[in-house]
Amino acid sequence: MSKKATFLPLNLSLAPFLLVLLYHLLWSVSVNGIEEKKILSLHNNIWRPTKSIEAPSSCFSHNLGKGRESSTTLEMKHRMICSGKTINWGKKLRRALTLDNLRVQSLQLRIKAMSSSTTESISEAQIPLTSGIKLETLNYIVTVNLGGKNMSLIVDTGSDLTWVQCQPCKSCYNQQGPLYDPSVSSSYRTVFCNSSTCQDLVAATGNSGLCGGNSGVDKTTCDYVVSYGDGSYTRGDLGSESLQLGDTKVENFVFGCGRNNKGLFGGTSGLMGLGRSSVSLVSQTMKSFNGVFSYCLPSFEDGASGSLSFGDDSSVYKNSTSVSYTPLVQNPQLSSFYILNLTGASIGGVDLESPSFGRGILIDSGTVITRLPPSIYKAVKTEFLKQFTGFPSAPSYSILDTCFNLTSYEDVSIPTIKMIFQGNAVLEVDVTGVFYFVKPDASLVCLALASLSYENEVGIIGNYQQKNQRVIYDTKQEKLGIAGENCSF
Ligand SMILES: *[C@@H]1O[C@H](CO)[C@@H](O)[C@H](O)[C@H]1NC(C)=O
Ligand SMILES: *[C@@H]1O[C@H](CO)[C@@H](O)[C@H](O)[C@H]1NC(C)=O
Ligand SMILES: *[C@@H]1O[C@H](CO)[C@@H](O)[C@H](O)[C@H]1NC(C)=O
Ligand SMILES: *[C@@H]1O[C@H](CO)[C@@H](O)[C@H](O)[C@H]1NC(C)=O
Ligand SMILES: *[C@@H]1O[C@H](CO)[C@@H](O)[C@H](O)[C@H]1NC(C)=O
């Protein structure tokens, strides 16, 4: 009797604990099995009118970077927040999608031409296809010091030559701050057209270095042309200069003095090429940094800064999960790109199947939205819709076809998206990288992934899905590392 009497209240008082226990059991089951989810706050963005974050007005960083013996770290900012003017976010966000598609189309043409491996078709692919359109797809900028002057550069892993707009200039777009002027720098040197550096340009740009001035004379400038295939280009002559990256000085850094520049670069001083050929910044700084660089791309929604680090000192990373590595796929025909082997993917913990896993996929800092072969995209979309249920759907927009109206929600729970690469390296897409806000009020929010037109086109991992990750490019050991990181500087 008394036993029973004491048992009952005990049982009742245990009930909440049991519920909690049950909840934890269910939660951990779902985490390990199906339905892994993350919470996204829909209205906590930089574009929310009530939010008082003021867009910084400068493309330049206040802090020029920090370094140690063998590494240096630069602040990386999103270009959308360096314009200073009142921003119409809705318009900006939608325009970015259109432009992104143009970049991808031109990348596909470039790949097609490079794969067919005739030099003729390479130069064909570099002929501007959509001239006159001012593209703004390369989104991240850093500040460096070139010959004693601060320069803001767009970071591009998809090209090689670093260049800045140069004085005297034939045709320059508007930039913040003065143009680089070689005539007032004692450390500037002309790169001559008979030098091996000038010859190396072919690999880097697809266009051979031309001899400027009187052709046939050895001691003339080495003229370059880089066409980005999307209507934008830079033309000028090669020079070398002392380049300061954070605390690290690189003497005789070869760069392009751009005298005729047009396209996607507005506001900035030029571009930093982090591709794989010998003129790229990565190759030129091999001695100092061992061919290793890494970045953390910030989410511009919350106005954070990211970082671009050079060198293999992993203690500068602020990774929140351990780094997993995957080999860089060797493809001689596409040697200037960084290619990974996408072997699988999962949505909310559910593994997907597709005959197109096990193929190469580009990792690009300039493309925004990840493009997947149709069969993989279809599997992703189907599983995502299966798990993200009960939300009002909305019409497709541009390349995005899985859209919702989430205006009336504050927080939503969304399935995790993982991409798996050879060697079991995992990119777990950050919660800010799952949905693209076509309309800032969340009335049109779309899954931020898109399908390629054809199964045999090459997939691309865009920067939207690389946000809040430490992505480490080790060009010497031919591998790429990934870990979660909340970007900051
Ligand atoms: C470059 O920028 C840094 C940081 O804002 C500033 O301290 C420095 O004076 C600038 N240097 C030049 C030459 O403008
Ligand atoms: C390039 O030409 C200059 C002037 O004729 C000559 O002094 C120099 O040695 C040449 N360099 C090479 C690498 O041929
Ligand atoms: C960061 O990555 C390193 C290398 O994988 C790992 O040892 C370390 O534990 C990671 N940090 C965190 C907080 O997970
Ligand atoms: C990708 O990895 C799979 C499994 O290791 C392998 O069978 C396949 O050949 C690889 N693909 C490429 C393009 O390296
Ligand atoms: C989105 O949903 C809200 C509330 O549910 C509704 O008032 C609004 O008209 C919808 N917007 C669009 C563009 O459908």
**C-alpha 200 to ligand 2 mean position (Å):** 16
Instruction: Provide the residue type at 36 as one letter.
Output: E
| Model pLDDT, residue 135 | 38
- What DSSP string runs through 324-337? EEEEPPP-GGGTTS
Q: Give the distance between the most distant pair of CA atoms in the chain.
A: 111
Query: Which of 100, 156, 312, 430 is flagged as catalytic?
Result: 156
The angle, 0 to 180 degrees and rounded to 10, between the axes of the packed helices 89-116 and 119-126 is 170
In whole angstroms, give the CA distance from residue 236 to residue 8. 86
- Ligand 1: nearest atom to the Cα of 150: 1
Query: Which residue's CA is the nearest one to ligand 3's atom 9?
Result: 322
Residue with tokens 């050895």: 218
Distance (Å) of CA 188 to CA 14, 148, 177? 77, 11, 19
Is the minimum distance from the CB of 260 to ligand 5 under 6 angstroms? Answer: no
Query: Which residue's CA is the nearest one to ligand 5's atom 11?
Result: 443
In whole angstroms, give the CA distance from residue 144 to residue 167. 18
User: Tell me: the pLDDT tens digits for 3-45?
Assistant: 333 333 334 444 444 444 444 444 433 444 457 999 998 887 7
- Ligand 4: nearest atom to the Cα of 423: 5
| Model pLDDT, residue 182 | 96
**C-alpha 150 to ligand 1 mean position (Å):** 6
Lowest mean pLDDT among 52-61, 88-97, 113-122: 113-122
CB atoms closer than 10 angstroms to residue 474: 17
Closest CA to 162 of 40, 285, 25, 302: 285
User: Tell me: the pLDDT tens digits for 266-292?
Assistant: 688 999 999 888 899 999 999 999 999
Closest CA to 70 of 290, 277, 319, 384: 290
Is the minimum distance from the CB of 329 to ligand 4 under 6 angstroms? Answer: yes
In whole angstroms, give the CA distance from residue 244 to residue 373. 41
Is the minimum distance from the CB of 343 to ligand 4 under 6 angstroms? Answer: yes
Torsions phi, psi of 132, nearest 5?
A: 95, -20
* Common-topology check for domains 50-301 and 321-484: yes
**C-alpha 469 to ligand 1 mean position (Å):** 29
Q: Is the dihedral of CA 464, 469, 474, 480 positive or negative?
A: negative
Architecture of domain 321-484: Beta Barrel (2.40)
- Ligand 2: nearest atom to the Cα of 194: 1
**Which class is 50-301 in CATH?**
mainly beta
Torsions phi, psi of 226, nearest 5?
A: -120, 120
Closest CA to 439 of 405, 391, 475, 488: 405
Instruction: Provide the residue type at 377 as one letter.
Output: Y
* Both structure tokens of 233: 């280009």
Is the minimum distance from the CB of 405 to ligand 5 under 6 angstroms? Answer: yes
* Total residues found in the chain within this entry: 489
Is the minimum distance from the CB of 408 to ligand 5 under 6 angstroms? Answer: yes
Is the minimum distance from the CB of 422 to ligand 4 under 6 angstroms? Answer: yes
User: Tell me: the pLDDT tens digits for 377-419?
Assistant: 999 999 999 999 999 999 999 999 999 999 999 999 999 999 9
- The average confidence (pLDDT) of the chain is 82
364 in catalytic set? yes
Domain ranges of the chain: 50-301, 321-484
In whole angstroms, give the CA distance from residue 25 to residue 275. 47
156 in catalytic set? yes
Question: Which ligand has the nearest atom to the CA of 321?
Answer: 3
Q: Which of 309, 315, 319, 470 to probe ligand 3 with, by most ligand atoms within 8 A of CB?
A: 319
Question: Which ligand has the nearest atom to the CA of 439?
Answer: 5
Query: Which of 230, 237, 313, 364 is flagged as catalytic?
Result: 364
**Average pLDDT for 198-218:** 67
